């Protein structure tokens, strides 16, 4: 869940930088009561459901919500109220469209070499332009291979538009609910202290 949440933040920072030519002011993990300069985006981890396929395999479904916050109008001027409401809806549409492009991707957990993290395939380049394969080829050995998870099924399941009060301030929010599934092998059954001889 942690790596998925960080990957979504990375994707949004890379691909959704503005809405109607207004820059996104921040990208944060975990919803909170604090009000930031808007528009801003919150990625809020949700639940993980585990379904046993066999005794050696599970399929995991993880859910998270993405909020796009826009400052609500502090006055009764109808034009401003409508304008900010439409801006919130446009931000919701952009969030939905961005996430629809990433319903299937790979997550690379931190390497055992130096803790670097790699993300969806289009982001698998470090600051020197090295791809993951080139990078790991410099460090031969099976213990140094990155752990990879393929999210084979993902969807945007809901889009909601809300008014939220934080720190006495009203915000317009677009909430995008998403889920992804991935398979997990079970490599050990029972405690380490159980031997093979009876």
pLDDT in tens, 136-171: 555 555 454 455 677 778 889 899 998 888 888 888
Between the alpha carbon of residue 172 and those of residues 7, 33, 37, 120, 142, the distances in Å are 25, 14, 13, 30, 49
In a domain, 39, yes or no: yes
Asked whether residue 47 is assigned to any structural domain, the reply reads: yes
Q: Could you tell me the two tokens for 190?
A: 């029972």
Total domain count, the chain: 1
The answer to whether position 135 is within a domain reads no
The confidence score (pLDDT) of residue 132 equals: 54
Asked if residue 36 belongs to a domain, the reply is: yes
Q: Which domain holds residue 9?
A: 2-109+147-185
Residue 89 lies in a domain: yes
- pLDDT, residue 133, reads 57
CB distance 27 to 41 below 8 Å: yes
| pTM of the shown model | 0.74
Per-residue pLDDT reduced to its tens digit, 69-128:
998 766 666 667 788 888 899 999 999 999 988 877 666 555 444 455 544 444 455 444
Alpha-carbon gap, residue 172 to 85, rounded angstroms: 7
126 located within any domain: no
- Residue 29, in any domain of the structure: yes
Please spell the DSSP secondary structure of 79-134, one letter per residue.
HHHHHHHHHHHHHHHHHHHHHHTTSSEEEEPPPTTT---B-SGGG-B-TTS-BHHH
In a domain, 56, yes or no: yes
Confidence check: pLDDT of 2 > 50: yes
147-162: string of b/e by CB count within 10 Å (b at 16+)? Answer: eebebeebebeeeeee
39 preceded by a cis bond (ω within 30 of 0): yes
CATH number for the domain spanning 20: value is: 3.30.2000.30
């Amino acid at each position: 869940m942690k790596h998925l949440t960080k990957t979504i933040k990375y994707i949004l920072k890379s691909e959704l930088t503005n809405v109607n030519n207004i820059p996104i002011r921040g990208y944060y993990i975990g919803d909170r009561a604090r009000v930031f300069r808007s528009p801003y985006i919150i990625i809020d981890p949700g639940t993980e459901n585990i379904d046993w396929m066999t005794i050696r395999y599970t399929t995991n479904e993880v859910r998270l919500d993405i909020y796009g916050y826009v400052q609500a109008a502090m006055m009764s001027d109808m034009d401003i109220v409508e304008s900010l409401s439409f801006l919130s809806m446009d931000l919701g549409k952009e969030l939905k469209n961005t996430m629809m492009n990433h319903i299937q991707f790979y997550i690379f957990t931190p390497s055992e070499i130096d803790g670097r993290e790699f993300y969806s395939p289009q982001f698998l380049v470090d600051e020197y332009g090295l791809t993951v394969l080139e990078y790991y080829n410099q460090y031969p050995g099976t213990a140094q291979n990155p752990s990879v998870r393929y999210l084979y099924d993902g969807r945007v399941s809901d889009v909601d538009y809300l008014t939220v009060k934080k720190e006495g301030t009203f915000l317009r929010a677009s909430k995008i609910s998403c889920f992804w599934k991935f398979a997990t092998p079970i490599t050990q059954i029972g405690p380490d202290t159980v031997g093979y001889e009876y």
